[in-house]
Structure 1
Amino acid sequence: MSVDMGALVLHGLGDIRYERIAVPAPGPGQAQIRVAAASICGSDVPRIYQYGAYHYPLIPGHEVSGRVVALGPGTRGGPDIAVGTEVAVKPLIPCGHCAYCHIGAYGQCSDYDYLGSRSDGGMAEYLVAPVDNLLPLPTGLDPVEASLCEPTAVALHAVRQGGVEPGDCVAIIGCGAIGMLIAQWVRIMGADRILLVDVDEAKLEMARRMWLGQTVNSHNTDPVIAAQQMGGGLGADLVIEAAGAATTIEQALQMARPLGRVVVMGNPAADVTLSRATVSQLLRKELTVRGAWNSSFVALPTDEWHVALRYLADRRIDVRPLITHRVPLAQGAQALAMMQRRAEPVARVVLVND
């Protein structure tokens, strides 16, 4: 194996470069992974160009698949993980000691690490990760599609937070990749009326091509009225907000029917202020409002990662239409710049290694 590798290295705000650097060696309890594919999350772009990282230099990338090529000293991979195993990589590394880790609520860990934001991630030829963070890919699952396991699990977590019931009317605000994955999950769980809301006509057109549900461009159609019409004059049983804007969070509360549910998973870039009228609706309609953050990967009862992999493998969840760009790793900086400029319609850009 080569002693150096190609990687996208973030040196400062907006300063990301493709470089040759040393291949990281796995330590005890870790595996070295030859990265097959790294999907670029929507959160990667503002981290690189707008908000910055926790430290520099940093290799971004937390949506990763690859193949185990080495185990650290004294590390046993277990029955499912060995050298040669193709894997998906969970990016959240919990401390294992805090009160929330003790109950398996790893997403609430008070001292976590995270690949691609706090530690080096997968926009590189090789990655080091804890063996406990690796999941073997089902036979036949394309590693490029497997790199979207993380957003698929995140979407499933949001849907479970909302408690979808058969026959539900579900409104989804935000037609990015996560929103379109949510639409697939709620259909699987029995929703028979699905409304997708966005301001980007290209995203709405993709949703229509995928037959995900009725679409509304909120630039020219009031989504609150659309939700009421779809929900028999009352509103949606469940609204999932996946855009992360003050306007869309307010719309989500307005679109839900009395006694309805709202899940907020979009991460706002600015402060959010609700109008008095919307707060009045929240109170009078007695809405149930929940947040959604990351995903669950405890063995039972809410392992969303293995479920996501199974549904990806048999394409009950189909991510192929969402992969709008496949880009060699060496051209990753240009791809990120394109996304930052919004130069082309994008759902998911996946960086691939030869």
Structure 2
Amino acid sequence: MKACLFSGVEQMEVKEVDRPARAENEVTIEVARAGLCGTDLHVYLGDMAHRVTPPRILGHEMVGAIVEAPEEGDFREGDRVVVEPTVFCGRCAACRRGHTHVCQNLNFMGVDSTGAFANYWNVPQDRLHKVPDTLDDVAGALIEPLAVAVHDVRRAQVEVGDRAVVIGGGPIGLLVAIAARLDGADVIISEVNPFRIGVAESCGFDTVNPSETNLVDHVNEWTDGAAADLVFEVSGHPAGAEVMTEIVRVRGTIALVGVHAEPVPVNLQQFFARELHLTGCRVYESIDFERAIRIAEADHVPVDKIVTNVTPMEEIGWGFEQMKNGRDVMKVMIDCQS
């Protein structure tokens, strides 16, 4: 089969590899589309060498159809599915409390083990969700990042009428904004990239460019001095961590979504003075996938605006370079049968 291999820092190689044998509890999926995400980019840039040793087939945002399945189970040949790529141990303290998505021995498929950037992918059948045929492949491959956003919004306990600021208008930030709006929040997006600003505004969101406008002043004016009920820090940038405590109201909530690989300064005094809540948000749980599928099926996600490129497998390196350099792309997907 053909596969895209991460072969070293900023190196992707497309080549023929042996199709692995399916384990007894696994299905074999013919992958249709797979999206490039921020985690994949971190691997590509060498930021996750402690977890990923090349060569490795990356990828976890995907949709495909089952071509082989065990006789026993809920899935059959031809079923269209997405993968919840969290394989947990079931024994650690987190798992015993029911928080398997943050398992202390987590195997995140597509990072810690073989992923979806290939013609075929073998996956344990208990990590699958069926996708309705009303969703095309591009919309189906957006379900995994949408599940991330649904989880973030659920963790933040968004309520009708809340005013929320999303810091970072990339694909996850935009999906967070969409999910929060569906739950009744009034949302603005803080973003510096002009292309992303344009995409967010085309989706009906008000935006602010903090490189041109003081974000604290803007939020205070928007809220008549009360500050935001909720802040989603999605950028993963130190500037986002610095400003998040300055734009949230008394007893407001900050949802930390973006990955901050290095320690960053945070104004802890604001947590004392305003009695703030800080909520960590990591990946998702099965209920988030279920809701993401319902949201996608109801056509609440402007797929054509978020997915800006669908490319052949041979151009996966181009996709990573566009993401690395902040080019005019939002979500890049790979046609895994090309």
TM-score by length of 2: 0.95
Query: Structure 1, residues 57-107: CA drift from partner, whole Å, max 9, x if none?
Result: 1001011110111125xx5232xx111101011111112233322333112
Matches within 5 A, 1:140-159: 140-159=134-153
- C-alpha contact (below 8 Å) 1:67/1:86 kept by paired residues: yes
- C-alpha contact (below 8 Å) 2:43/2:52 kept by paired residues: no
Task: Please state whether the residue corresponding to 2:46 is helix, strand or coil.
Answer: helix
Name whichever of 93-102 and 7-16 sits farther off. Answer: 93-102
* 1:171 corresponding residue in structure 2: 165
Name whichever of 332-341 and 199-208 sits farther off. Answer: 332-341
Residue in structure 2 matching 1:195, options 188, 191, 212: 188
Q: CA deviation at 1:195?
A: 1.3
* 1:48 corresponding residue in structure 2: 44
* Aligned AA (1:149): I
Cα RMSD between the aligned structures?
Answer: 1.4
* 2:325 corresponding residue in structure 1: 341
Task: Please state whether the residue corresponding to 1:43 is helix, strand or coil.
Answer: helix
* 1:226 corresponding residue in structure 2: 218
> 2 CA distance for matches of 1:15 and 1:230?
45
- C-alpha contact (below 8 Å) 1:185/1:317 kept by paired residues: no
- C-alpha contact (below 8 Å) 1:95/1:101 kept by paired residues: yes
* 1:182 corresponding residue in structure 2: 176
Q: CA deviation at 1:211?
A: 0.3
Q: Percent identity?
A: 29
> 2 CA distance for matches of 1:159 and 1:223?
22
Q: CA deviation at 1:333?
A: 2.3
Residue in structure 2 matching 1:241, options 226, 233, 242: 233
Matches within 5 A, 1:1-354: 5-51=1-47, 52=49, 53-71=51-69, 76-78=72-74, 81-191=75-185, 193-212=186-205, 214-274=206-266, 278-297=267-286, 303-342=287-326, 344-354=327-337
- C-alpha contact (below 8 Å) 1:312/1:318 kept by paired residues: no
> 2 CA distance for matches of 1:244 and 1:340?
14
> 2 CA distance for matches of 1:32 and 1:19?
19
Q: CA deviation at 1:309?
A: 0.7
> 1 CA distance for matches of 2:211 and 2:323?
22
> 1 CA distance for matches of 2:178 and 2:202?
13
Query: Structure 1, residues 122-141: CA drift from partner, whole Å, max 9, x if none?
Result: 01111111101111102311
Name whichever of 98-107 and 252-261 sits farther off. Answer: 98-107
> 2 CA distance for matches of 1:336 and 1:171?
28
Q: Where does structure 1 differ by over 4 angstroms across 4 or more consecutive aligned residues?
A: none
* Aligned AA (2:270): Q
Query: Structure 1, residues 191-228: CA drift from partner, whole Å, max 9, x if none?
Result: 1x31110111211111111102x210000111111111
* Aligned AA (1:85): D
* Aligned AA (1:220): E
Name whichever of 149-158 and 316-325 sits farther off. Answer: 316-325
Q: CA deviation at 1:319?
A: 2.6
Q: CA deviation at 1:279?
A: 2.3
Task: Please state whether the residue corresponding to 2:122 is helix, strand or coil.
Answer: strand
- C-alpha contact (below 8 Å) 1:6/1:125 kept by paired residues: yes
TM-score by length of 1: 0.91
Query: Structure 1, residues 287-335: CA drift from partner, whole Å, max 9, x if none?
Result: 01111001111xxxxx010110111112123333100001012322232
- C-alpha contact (below 8 Å) 2:11/2:317 kept by paired residues: no
> 1 CA distance for matches of 2:127 and 2:304?
25
> 1 CA distance for matches of 2:218 and 2:77?
53
> 1 CA distance for matches of 2:179 and 2:301?
7
Task: Please state whether the residue corresponding to 1:254 is helix, strand or coil.
Answer: coil
Q: CA deviation at 1:246?
A: 1.6
> 2 CA distance for matches of 1:218 and 1:330?
37
Query: Structure 1, residues 102-159: CA drift from partner, whole Å, max 9, x if none?
Result: 3331122111211111111001111111101111102311122111111101111111
Matched positions, count: 335
> 2 CA distance for matches of 1:39 and 1:267?
18
- C-alpha contact (below 8 Å) 2:254/2:278 kept by paired residues: yes
> 1 CA distance for matches of 2:320 and 2:300?
29
Q: CA deviation at 1:351?
A: 0.4
Task: Please state whether the residue corresponding to 2:323 is helix, strand or coil.
Answer: helix
> 1 CA distance for matches of 2:221 and 2:324?
36
* Unaligned 5+ runs, structure 2: none
